[in-house]
Structures are given as C-alpha cells and as structure tokens.
Structure 1
Amino acid sequence: MAATTVTDAGGVRIITEVIPASDPRVAQLTSSSRPAAPNVSFQVQNFRRAQPKALGTIHILTGIIHICFGIILTASEHRKPSLPVASGVLFWLGLLLLVSGSLLVESEKRDSILLVKTCCVFNAGVILSTLVATLVHATAITRNPPGCERNAMFQLRHEWCFHVEDKLLSNGLDTLLVGFILLEFCVAVAVLAFGYHAIKQHSYTRMVM
C-alpha cells in the first residue's frame, strides 16, 4: 500500500504519497515525466504556407528550360558563342535551380528545420545567380553579335553581321530567359521570407523551452 503523509505549513496542506515500485502507476508516472520531443511541425508550419512543393516545381521546370536552351545554343553557336553561352550561365543556373527545387519538394515531405535552412541557403544563391544572369543577358542584348564589333574603321565584318533577323532572334531569346529569371527571383525571395520566419520562430521556441 502507498504511505500518505499530511503536512500543514503556513496555511498550506501538503499531502505526500509514497508509491511502491510494484504499483502499476509507477510506469505511467515515469513515462509522463520524460521530456516530450519537440514538435518541429509547428516551427515549419509557416514555411509550408509558402507551398514549397509548388515553388520547387517551378524551380525544376525553369532549370530544365535553362539547360535545354543552353544545349541548343551551345550547339548552334559553337564557332562564335554569344556571351550567355560563353559564360555558361544557362548551365550553372539551371543546375542550381534543379537542386533548389528538389530540396523544396523534399521539404514538403519532411519535418526538418535543417532542411528549411538548407533551402534558404540555396535560394539565397539563386537570388545572387539571377542577378548575375540578368546582367549577362542584358549585356548580350545591348552588344553586337560576336565577331561583328567595330574595332577598326576598315575591318571586314562577317556575313552574318548583316542579318538583322539573327540579332532579333537572339535578343528575343535573351528577353524570354530574363522573364524566366524574374520568375525564379520572385520564387527565391518568397522562399527566403517564409524560411526566415520559420527559422526565427524555431530559435525563439527553443529559447523559451
């Protein structure tokens, strides 16, 4: 049997009960006294509101588009590559978007604040990369095609330099890619905003605990 002791101190009655080890209530008390595992889902709930799966799908699709355009333009401009092809921006930005998109899709399935931080790091890289890519494409639009620069007064220019439609086509492709880059920039900013809020909330919760 459990031994009960009653103590009065300062108008407060304290009842102490000693439970023997054979009592079945010991197992319940032991399990309830263990610290509960932190609920990570509560911390990443705000990040899930950004629909990371949908944003990751956008990154993946635009990454595939960049790589496909990179392959086509590299094959067609192997003699005189344009600035976007020579810089390789279509390939490294496409690969970065594929990795970032895959992480965002995975974050929809796993409750991991570390995965959220990783997504934020890669999307910060996407933001910087889109700014560089925009500068590259803008420079390609404003400059003459490769081999058509007027460096000398009587320099002979290649035949394709007189084909205005080629320059218009190149400018159209660069403008289209800049549109995709703007979409990628907006997606990365949204991921960073929601991810930062989730990370901040997670840190605050751990401090309180």
Structure 2
Amino acid sequence: MAATAVTDSGGVRIITEVIPASDPRAAQLAAGSQPPAPAGTSFRVRGFRRAQPKVLGTIHIFGGIVHICFGIILTLAEHGSPSLPVASGIFFWLGLLLLVSGSLLVESEKRENILLVKACCVVNAAVALSTLVATLLHATAISRNVPGCEKPPSYQLRPEWCFNPENKMLSDGLDSIFVIFSLLEFCAAVAAVAFGRAAVQQHNYRRMAL
C-alpha cells in the first residue's frame, strides 16, 4: 500500500506518495525517468533532410536502372564493334553505383543515423566523379566516327553500315541523352554531398562541444 505524506510550505501544499516496488505504477515511472535519446540526433540529420534525400535517391535509382538496361541492349547490339562507352562498361558500373547511392539516400530519409549520412557522402562523391568520367566518354564517342568505320587501309573496304548516316545520328543522339542524364546525376550527387558534409561537420562540432 502506498504511503502518502502532506507538507505545507509557504502556502504551497506538497503531497508525497511512496509507491512500493510491487506496484505496477513503479515500472511505468522507472521507464519514464530514463534519460531520453540524444536530442542532437534528429538535429544533426535535419540539415541533411533539407536536401530531400528521398527525391535524390529516386533520381539515382531511376538513372541506374536506365543505365543498366541500355547497357545490356547496346552491348548485345554492338557486340562486334562496341563503341567507347560500351567497351568501357560505364553503363554497368555507373548503374550499380547509382542503385547503391539511391538506396542509401532513400534509407536515410527513414532512419536518423549519422553513419548513414556519412556513407551517403562517400558513395555520392564516387557517383559525382563517375558521372564526370561518363560525360567525358560519351562526349568522346560523339566526336569520333562509328566503330569500325575509321579510315581503313587501301586494300580494305568500309563496312556497309558506314555509309548509312542514320547510324551515326542515332549513336550521337543516345550519347547526348546520356550526357544529360550524367549531368543530372552529377547535380544530385553534389547536392547530397554538400548537405551531408554540413551535417557531418555539425555532428563533429557538437561532439567536441559536449
């Protein structure tokens, strides 16, 4: 049975109740008296959330799927004389990198974890560098002739497809589209790195200040 004591002090009545350990209310009070989770956790990630990581992650996931699908199609279509982007494998390793980056960004929207933000920064920095390489490869492919149509020796004839200008136009059009995709993914990656770096630096500052 709980013991109650009443004390009057300065016009204020203080009622003190002692609850035994067997009382169910004691467990509730003990749970409520535990220190709350660090308030800085949500504060640290709040700046990163302003970059809309779910939207950036969706852009990367969509771009990764497009890169991998076109990589499979172009690899099968150009198995005899692959273009520079196909030969470099940029469609596959950039596509996988975009899928990983997009998954981390979407997950960071659900979980408040500073380590997840750091992982997003590292992966998106790799994505930014990779998209620059991809842009360079596609631009080089646009400036070059169709593979297999370079000026052959005097005793060889150019393949029949070399005299069809539509092939070069189609190839340049695809490369131009992927240049635009790469620039879009680069901007998304830079935004994620910028906001993530600010959140990480803020986290480190708070740790030093405590």
TM-score bracket, normalised by the shorter chain, equals 0.7 to 0.9
Residue 125, structure 1, aligned to residue 126, structure 2: yes
Percent identity for Structure 1 against Structure 2: 69
- What amino acid does structure 1 have at the position aligned with 2:118? K
CA RMSD, 1 decimal = 2.0
Count of aligned pairs: 184
Question: What displacement does 1:152 show?
Answer: 3.3
Instruction: Name the residue aligned to 2:67.
Output: 66
2:207 corresponds to 1:199: no
Paired residue type of 2:191: A
Residue number in structure 2 paired with 1:113:
114
Aligned partner of 2:51 in structure 1 is 50
| Alignment check: 8 A CA contact 2:58 2:106 kept | yes
In 1, the alpha carbon distance for the partners of 2:54 and 2:135 equals 25
Distance in 2 separating the partners of 1:37 and 1:208: 18
- Tell me, in whole angstroms, the C-alpha distance in 1 between the residues paired with 2:43 and 2:180: 36
Taking structure 2 as the reference length, the TM-score comes to: 0.82
Aligned residue type for 1:86: A
Corresponding residue for residue 139 of structure 2: 138
CA deviation after TM superposition for structure 1 residue 154, in Å: 5.2
Deviation at 1:117, TM superposition (A): 0.2
Distance 1:106 1:157 in 2: 52
**3-state secondary structure, aligned to 1:108:** helix
Q: Distance in 2 between matches of 1:53 and 1:127?
A: 18
Distance 2:180 2:153 in 1: 35
Deviations 1:17-62 (A, max 9, x none): xxxxxx77xx98xx97x86542311100000011100110000001
TM superposition shift of 1:85: 0.7
Aligned-partner Cα distance in 2 for 1:65–1:146 = 23
**Deviations 1:148-171, CA, capped at 9 Å, x for gaps:** 111535542111111110000000
Counterpart for residue 38 of structure 1? 38
Alpha-carbon contact 2:152-2:158 (below 8 Å) kept:
no
State yes or no: 1:167 paired with 2:168. yes
CA distance in structure 1 between the partners assigned to 2:53 and 2:36 by the alignment: 28
- Could you list the runs of 5+ residues in structure 1 that have no partner in the other structure? 1-22
How far apart, CA to CA, are the structure 2 residues paired with 1:141 and 1:66?
A: 18
Report Cα offsets for 1:72-107 as digits up to 9, x if no partner.
111111111111111110111000000000000000
Q: What code does the residue aligned with 2:97 have?
A: L
Counterpart for residue 97 of structure 1: 98
SS at match of 1:150: coil
Unaligned runs of 5+ in 2: 1-17, 20-25
| Residue matched to 2:77 | 76
The one-character-per-residue Cα deviations of 1:155-189 (angstroms, maximum 9, x if unpaired) are: 42111111110000000000001100010000001
